[in-house]
């Protein structure tokens, strides 16, 4: 790469924002890129700084919060709440929706996020990520309310994730394709590395937790068998246990990620608002699809901010096949 074709995320965001834009959405994405750099720096030092281990809290999902989750949550809230661009937030780590404190100016957007997805992988040095979605407020004249936060994925104006892996990558879409930026650690800049990402026509992977396969319903078992026995294309099974990492690998190489319902998880495990919907939005922007087995994940209006949903997401034909198998269950 020569210096003349290096495009930073800031440059790309400014160049691609529509003429009528006021820069608010661009500003939020840039704030998230900054949060990503801070979280990435801390993640890299996690093994050294004794920030691993459990914080004292149990989060509202009943999972023990790891210290890095708390840190990432705090960084995102602090960096974005005073920007004047948001009027509400939802975080996986906070029980209620988060209003913008009255001392700060309010903006027109709602930010929903999972600060550190895959956090049970932190202490074994495996890729983790941040997922985010951005909605427009329903009523510009108000300061933001719960209803603003309960919008279906179809109304997202932007979504993305940051993957803390061998490199740190920020991948986002604001409705004009999916673009990926890799953090150059020596420059401290996200550089455009993957423009207009599309799922390859020939997928390579399927990603399910096989520990629960035997406990799945007959149509789900039949679907997984179909994936396993497919010959053209031949799929390899890979499962990280961090949805961001599984999704990213499948986006680049093609494939399907699934977390269906199971007897112990009647609603699945993945959260609709700040995990499934943003990734389904990216999937559609990249030519793929996300479903709960019956409906597009983007059409489901959340009833509460932490709602769980079964998920199948990736190459469209692999995901639609899940719908076909599940239709036989009815």
91 binds ligand AFP (CB under 6 A): no
Beta strands in 177-294 (DSSP E): 178-184, 189-197, 205-207, 236-237, 255-259, 270-271, 288-291
CA distance 95 to 97: 7
Binding mask 106-145 for ligand AFP (x = CB under 6 A): -----------xxxxx------------------------
CA distance 24 to 128: 28
User: Of the ranges 144-152, 155-163, 221-229, 237-245, which one interacts with ligand AFP (CB under 6 A)?
Assistant: 237-245
Give yes or no for a contact between 245 and 127, defined as CB atoms under 8 angstroms apart: yes
Q: Min. distance of Cβ 267 from ligand AFP in angstroms?
A: 13
Q: Min. distance of Cβ 269 from ligand AFP in angstroms?
A: 5
Two tokens, residue 287: 């030519």
242 binds ligand AFP (CB under 6 A): yes
Q: Min. distance of Cβ 175 from ligand AFP in angstroms?
A: 25
CA distance 188 to 116: 21
- How many residues of this chain bind ligand AFP (CB under 6 A)? 13
267 binds ligand AFP (CB under 6 A): no
Binding mask 193-232 for ligand AFP (x = CB under 6 A): ----------------x-----------------------
Q: Which of 10, 63, 155, 267 binds ligand AFP (CB under 6 A)?
A: 63
CA distance 324 to 233: 19
Q: Min. distance of Cβ 60 from ligand AFP in angstroms?
A: 13
CA distance 257 to 237: 10
CA distance 215 to 237: 19
Q: Which of 84, 177, 241, 287 binds ligand AFP (CB under 6 A)?
A: 241
Phi-psi region of 268 (alpha: psi -120 to 50; beta: other; left: phi over 0): left
Number of neighbours of residue 94 by Cβ within 10 angstroms = 16
243 binds ligand AFP (CB under 6 A): yes
**Site residues for ligand AFP per CB under 6 A:** 63, 117-121, 209, 241-243, 259, 269-270
């Amino acid at each position: 790469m020569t210096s003349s074709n290096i495009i930073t995320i800031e440059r790309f965001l400014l160049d691609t924002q529509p003429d009528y834009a006021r820069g608010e959405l661009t500003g939020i994405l840039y704030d998230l890129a900054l949060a990503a750099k801070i979280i990435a720096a801390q993640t890299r030092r996690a093994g050294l700084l004794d920030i691993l281990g459990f914080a004292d809290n149990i989060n509202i999902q009943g999972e023990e919060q790891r210290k890095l989750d708390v840190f990432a949550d705090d960084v995102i809230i602090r960096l974005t709440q005073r920007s004047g661009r948001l009027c509400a937030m939802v975080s996986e780590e906070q029980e209620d929706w988060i209003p913008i404190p009255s001392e700060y100016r309010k903006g027109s957007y709602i930010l929903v996020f999972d600060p550190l997805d895959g956090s049970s992988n932190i202490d074994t040095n495996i890729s983790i990520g941040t997922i985010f979605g951005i909605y427009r407020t329903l009523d510009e004249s108000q300061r933001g309310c719960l209803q603003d936060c309960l919008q279906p994925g179809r109304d997202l104006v932007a979504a993305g994730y940051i993957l803390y892996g061998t490199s740190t990558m920020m991948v986002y879409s604001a409705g004009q394709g999916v673009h990926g930026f890799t953090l150059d650690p020596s420059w401290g800049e996200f550089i455009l590395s993957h423009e207009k990402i599309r799922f390859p026509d020939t997928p390579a992977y399927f990603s399910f937790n096989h520990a629960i396969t035997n406990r799945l319903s007959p149509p789900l078992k039949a679907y997984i068998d179909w994936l396993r026995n497919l010959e053209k294309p031949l799929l390899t099974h890979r499962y990280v246990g961090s949805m961001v990492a599984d999704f990213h690998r499948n986006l680049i190489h093609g494939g399907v990620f699934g977390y269906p319902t199971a007897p112990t998880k009647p609603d699945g495990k993945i959260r609709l608002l700040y995990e499934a919907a943003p990734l389904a939005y990216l999937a559609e922007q990249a030519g793929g699809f996300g479903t709960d087995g019956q409906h597009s994940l983007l059409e489901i209006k959340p009833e509460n901010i932490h709602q769980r949903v079964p998920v199948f997401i990736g190459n469209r034909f692999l995901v639609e096949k899940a719908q076909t198998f599940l239709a036989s269950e009815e």
